[in-house]
Amino acid sequence: MTKFELLVAEAKQRIDEKQGTTLVCVGVATCSMAAGALKVKDAFISEIQRKELDARVIEVGCMGHCYAEPLVLIKKPGFPALLYGKLDEDLVERLVEDFLANEDPCFDFALAAIEPNDFFPTLADFPRGFYEEKLILEQCGFINPEDIDHYLAAEGYCGLVGALDKNPADVIEEVKSARLRGRGGAGFPAGVKWEKCSRQDENEKYVVCNADEGDPGAFMDRAILESNPHLVLEGMAICGYAVGASKGYIYVRAEYPKATSRLRLAISQAKEKGLLGKNILGSGFSFDIEIFEGSGAFVCGEGTALINSMAGKMGIPETRPPRMAVSGLYGKPTVLNNVKTFAYVPGIVKNGAHWFRQKGTEQNPGTAVFALVGKIKNSGLVEVPMGTTLRRLIYDVGEGIPNDKKFKAVQIGGPSGGCLPEDALDIPIDFDSLHDAGAIMGSGGLVVLDENDCMVTVARYFLEFTQHESCGKCTFCRLGTKHMLDILTAITQGKGSLSDLDLLLELAEDVRDGSLCNLGGTAPNPVLTTLRYFRDEYEAHLEEGRCPARMCKDLIAYYIVPQKCSKLCSACVGSCPTEAIYTREDGIKAITQDKCVKCDNCLKACPPEYDAVEKLSPPVLPGEKGSEKK
């Protein structure tokens, strides 16, 4: 038995000894903690101890079903492993009493079973489970990320062991043959980058993992690091062996404390097992990994800005060439890849390039991981084959738009991406098809928008983000985005003329073509795509002073329809934070427009049987306008 085989055998034995009769796996990641997962975990522990049951509670990571947090997986002998969602302390007490202490699995509260059975539907029986194909999210939510034994028992580090038995050039060739493209957004072939670095005649080389995930609404990298950190460490170690590097860094933003703490623990455990550090598994190969915490600057997601930040310089992009594989961190050859890119590597090395290429398309093999958020029923982390259409992702995997609202657009690729309309829903998700449509896949952020979203405001929101995050080095980016933002702000107020749209388009193209890095180069994408696909909304703002989505505050007014308002109801009065709503002499409610801050509270508070509050755009009140003034 080899040293590694002994490690795996011992890990499996320890897991069997720890688990006891029943295992309660509580999903504990940033998203689930926000939903109350820690309270659920403590409640299970307290109830199990109180009833003196033979059961054990462990933490696992993100299972991806964020719409149903907090999530708990219960494995009890004689029953299929069952997944429960939206738990609170009362439901915990019920599950412990009825299921853990007795034999009632409380199917009414279960989402799905994990494996096939004769009792309850599995995840695979639902559209999401049918269309999802997990390569790097497979273990997320099902293993304890703070216990390396769980990763070893799930065939973890087998890829590294297999790589150490090969020539480094053969490892690179396997990655090249898999056609793995960088999942950070650029889509550059990872194997080509590795090969370039390996050919540099330098004694000192580096492997850097870019975990500076800064896109609004994106949480793919964070979830992987929190749920399966060893997968990324293994991928980095394989890369280090392949290119001849002995040092690796993970550049992770300090706003990810859970990911950072679990990474530190994983690195420590891997060193203790001899899977990182000096002379890994007696192979003669040494590789160590350190964590570098970034300060949250979006521009530091760009490669040259990132390594400048690591070197103690200002996080500002620089011109290339030389490429990073030639001269990167501290002027040494460096491989810089995204979290997801490294996460695919262990599976490719362990199972072969064909394993990866059998998913996806010819030019874009493998899977894509998305943070599916916005106006979507089943938000969360999803992994689908490359080439899956946006329609399938939104309507089958995400189960469509809630509250019977109409789909308007999908914002894909973060602030550097684009807004695509309903006509684009059948575009396959891959690097090339999305680029042709004016968007990018980016790192995997995907925001669904419905009929209540104003595309001018959406473009302004993302441009404001990139303008604020600009490092200021390039004149086009520094001044161009500010000028564009000023124009967009004026349009949301109904100010300006149609000629402003031509100027906006001209500025967008100048910023795109004249910026040094991709932050500036892609910053105009939300503006360009909304002008391309939703120009009529821009024109309505300028020509009619009207926001079709009734979202822009300067172009809307709240109005209580007298014929619908009930004299017996005062729900809207109590909901108003500025006391803008008053009761007329006839008992009907009305709004003092000068006091109204357009917070939407009255609209939400009005009982559906009355439906008396309306949003008007343009903000012209019907009927007796004078009666609205008090």
- Give the Cα separation of 288 and 618 in Å (integer): 62
Average pLDDT for the chain: 94
Strand 288-294 to strand 247-253: parallel, antiparallel, or no bridges (unpaired)?
parallel
Distances (CA, A) of 56 to 11, 48, 84, 145: 17, 8, 17, 16
Give the pLDDT band of residue 1 (cuts 50, 70, 90). confident
* Cβ 259 vs Cβ 146: under 8 Å: no
Provide long-range contacts, Cβ within 8 A and 24+ apart, for 273-278.
273/7, 273/148, 273/152, 274/3, 274/7, 275/7, 275/157, 275/160, 275/234, 275/237, 276/233, 276/237
| DSSP code for 189 | B
What average pLDDT does range 519-527 have in this prediction?
A: 92
Q: Which residues contact 231 (CB under 8 A, 6 or more apart)?
A: 136, 139, 151, 156, 224, 343, 346
124-145: pLDDT as tens digits: 999 999 999 999 999 999 999 9
pLDDT at 350: 97
- Give the Cα separation of 158 and 139 in Å (integer): 15
Residue 372 has pLDDT above 70, yes or no: yes
- Please count the residues of the chain: 630
- Give the Cα separation of 552 and 549 in Å (integer): 8
Distances (CA, A) of 580 to 262, 469, 574, 602, 610: 50, 37, 10, 10, 20
- Give the Cα separation of 301 and 293 in Å (integer): 12
177-220: pLDDT as tens digits: 999 999 987 789 999 999 999 999 999 999 999 999 988 888 99
What average pLDDT does range 84-101 have in this prediction?
A: 97
249-298: pLDDT as tens digits: 999 999 999 999 999 999 999 999 999 999 999 999 999 999 999 988 99
Q: Peptide bond preceding 257: is omega within 30 degrees of 0, i.e. cis?
A: no
Q: Which residues contact 241 (CB under 8 A, 6 or more apart)?
A: 160, 163, 164, 168, 171, 285, 287
426-466: pLDDT as tens digits: 999 998 888 888 888 877 889 999 999 999 999 999 999 99
Nearest to 310 by CA among 325, 326, 288, 332: 332
Alpha helices by DSSP H, 549-591: 571-575
Distances (CA, A) of 28 to 58, 63, 73: 9, 9, 12
Residue 82 has pLDDT above 50, yes or no: yes
Indicate the pTM of the whole model. 0.94
pLDDT at 413: 86
Give the pLDDT band of residue 623 (cuts 50, 70, 90). low
460-518: pLDDT as tens digits: 999 999 999 999 999 999 999 999 999 999 999 999 999 999 999 999 999 999 999 98
**What is the percent of the chain with per-residue pLDDT over 90, rounded to a whole number?**
89
* Cβ 121 vs Cβ 130: under 8 Å: no
What average pLDDT does range 406-429 have in this prediction?
A: 92
pLDDT at 184: 85
531-549: pLDDT as tens digits: 999 999 999 999 999 999 9
Residue 395 has pLDDT above 90, yes or no: yes
98-111: pLDDT as tens digits: 999 999 999 999 99
Q: Peptide bond preceding 321: is omega within 30 degrees of 0, i.e. cis?
A: yes
